[in-house]
Amino acid sequence: MEKKLLFLLVIFAITGCEIINPEEPIPAYIYVESFDLVTDPATEGSNSSNITDVWLFSDGDFLGVYPLPATIPILKSGMTNLRLRAGIKENGIAATPDYYPFYAPYDLAIDLREARVDTIRPVIEYLDETKFSFIESFDGGGHLFSEIRVGDIENKITLTTADVFEGTKSALIQLDTSHNIVELATGLSFDDLTETGKKVYLELNYKTEVPVLFGLIGFDNTNAAGEGLYGNGVNASSEWKKIYFNLTAAAVTDNFDFFKVGIRSSIPKEDGKFKLENAKIYLDNIKLLHF
């Protein structure tokens, strides 16, 4: 009797442990190092990008956002439909990640297996419905940013081959203590950005010795001077960088009839003195996009 009771106690202890501590499922894994953006240079411009994260969906369920490169566990096995979206730092701010709405998702069906790591190399394009209001590569004989709203002729954009991000030329804006502030605008205006629900973004590459603001300049039929809508910008950077500005709120929340794209900068001061005697701003591959 005692042996039987002892046997039952042992069996209960074993099965009880299994109930309390069930066997952990073994995930499958995918590895994503980066996204490869492919563009048509003639209609979509440069394929320069700054994709920092992957947004992952599995059979329609959102699994999370992962900084690249990423090894991602998935608690599934067998054929699974995955969707990967290219994540960016909106306005260059780490606290505002989002997937870029103009990049098409990368979809694939994959046979997941427990403990196996599958490497995925997503190749993406711009969505077909993306509209480019303009693409300025600065490789031609002229450029769109011809209007000097604040500053002098010394502050105008010149085309340089001295420090080029890609292509043959980049834009150069120069400041000094006698010409220390500038606001430039596109010579063209755009009246197709104001519809409610539209997404409006500005992409560009930059390298600069001083902070620079980018935004829209709003006009209506009674205000020929326009109103600058600057909420986003970049800090000084000694290396070329890529950034995406979300201009949607400025485009759709104010009652303007049309817009220009504006650039504003100045040499900063400290204790009433200029921090730099001279400053250079380099720009390339500026695109205004919307749906």
pLDDT tens-digit readout, 181-193: 999 999 999 998 9
Q: What's the pLDDT score for residue 32?
A: 98
3 state SS for 83-152 = EEEEEEEHHHCCCCEEECCCECCEEEEEEECCCCEEEECCEECECCCCEEEEEECCCCCCCCCCEEEECC
Domain locations in the chain as residue ranges: 19-124, 131-290
pLDDT tens-digit readout, 213-229: 999 999 988 878 899 99
Q: What's the pLDDT score for residue 7?
A: 47
pLDDT tens-digit readout, 235-283: 999 999 999 999 999 998 778 999 999 999 999 999 999 999 999 999 9
pLDDT tens-digit readout, 78-116: 999 999 999 999 999 887 889 999 999 999 999 999 999
pLDDT tens-digit readout, 122-135: 999 999 999 999 99
Least Cα distance to 163 among 215, 118, 208 occurs for: 208
What number is the average pLDDT over the span 52-62?
A: 97
Class of domain 131-290: mainly beta
Question: For residues 23 and 21, what is the distance between their CA atoms, to the nearest angstrom?
Answer: 7
Q: CATH: 1.10.357, 1.20.120, 3.10.620, 2.60.40. Which one for 19-124?
A: 2.60.40
User: Does the fold of domain 131-290 match that of domain 19-124?
Assistant: no
What element of type H or E holds 241?
Answer: strand 237-246
Least Cα distance to 194 among 135, 259, 244, 104 occurs for: 259
